[in-house]
Amino acid sequence: MIISRRRAAQFTPEKYLELERSSKFKHEYIQGHVLAIASATRAHEVITDNLTALFVNHLRGTGCISHSGGMKVYMPELGVFYYPDQSVTCDETEGSGDQDFIVYPKLIIEVLSESSAAFDRGDKFADYQTIPSLEEYALIHQRQMVVERFSRDIEKDVWLPHIHRAKDQVRFKCIGFTCPIESLYENVNSL
């Protein structure tokens, strides 16, 4: 995912949502500024599709819902809307059919690209950490079989890192999901 750093005129969240619903391209919203998101690589899309297939089947009947890159996460206290590559919400209040964003994700995953890696690890992760419902955050590399997973220790108010590599089992504890890391990279031929 490539993020354009050109900042447009200031918008209200309501105006952003109105414009985004009719836009052919996705944009993230950061405190009144709208940032365009460019298209992703094939590897990025395959990894995201693999996550979707794995999560939809795993979450069936649990009350949790997996969303791929088309669903925004809104942080009203920060005035921010992001499009994570994958998110899972288990909050029953987010079941509205016409709502195009969620507020209570339990898990957020970003697939790293060269242009977004620093932002995904830095400011974006810092913003995500303000979400009280968020229990885990993961960064999936495209060019090597590596998953960086961060889990929240609520009692100590810290995020604990976990690194998964080839032949490891990737575990997303907050949704009770485990799979071989190779399942996330199935059909990614560039490794």
CB proximity list for 14: less than 8 A, separation 6 or greater: none
| Residue 188 vs residue 6, higher pLDDT | 188
Answer yes or no: pTM beyond 0.85. Answer: yes
- Tell me how long the chain is: 191
Contact indicator for 103, 74 with CB cutoff of 8 Å: yes
* Rounded-to-integer distance, Cα 75 and Cα 45, Å: 25
Tens of pLDDT, residues 134-177: 999 999 999 999 999 999 998 998 999 999 999 999 999 999 99
Mean pLDDT, rounded, for 70-86: 93
Q: How many helices (H) and strands (E) does the chain have?
A: 5, 13
Residue 5 is classified by DSSP as -
pLDDT of residue 9 exceeding 60, the answer is: no
pLDDT at 1: 37
Tokens of 128: 């995500």
CATH for 40-184? 3.90.1570.10
Instruction: Say if residue 95's pLDDT is above 90.
Output: no
Please state the domain extents for the chain: 40-184
CA 170, CA 184: separation in Å to the nearest integer?
9
Q: Of 132 and 25, which is predicted with more confidence?
A: 132
